[in-house]
Every structure is written in C-alpha cells, then in structure tokens.
Amino acid sequence: MRRHCTWSLSAYTSRPAAPHGFNVSHPEEFNQALLSFLQS
C-alpha cells in the first residue's frame, strides 16, 4: 500500500496534466494516497 501511494503521488506530481485525469478516474484513491503521505 505504501509503495502504491508513493508511486501515485510521484506520478501525480511529475505530470502537470495528470491530476485532472487521475482525479476524475480515481478521486478516492488519490485522496487516500495524499492523506497517507501527509500523515506519514
């Protein structure tokens, strides 16, 4: 889970165009990854 969250965040931050598509496709998954990152 932690690796997946890290990968999601790195993919999110690496591509400026990705957030919109990623957010629309997996908003809950992204939120979980973001929360996990902020809390760790």
pLDDT greater at residue 30 or residue 36: 36
Q: Between 27-39 and 2-14, two packed helices, what is the crossing angle to 10 degrees? A: 110
Q: How many CB atoms lie within 10 A of CB 33?
A: 23
Q: Are 29 and 8 in contact (CB under 8 A)?
A: yes
pLDDT greater at residue 2 or residue 28: 28
pTM score, whole prediction: 0.35
CA dist., res. 40 & res. 14, Å (int): 20
Predicted pLDDT of residue 13: 53
pLDDT greater at residue 40 or residue 17: 40
Q: Where are the alpha helices (DSSP H) in the chain?
A: 2-14, 18-25, 27-39
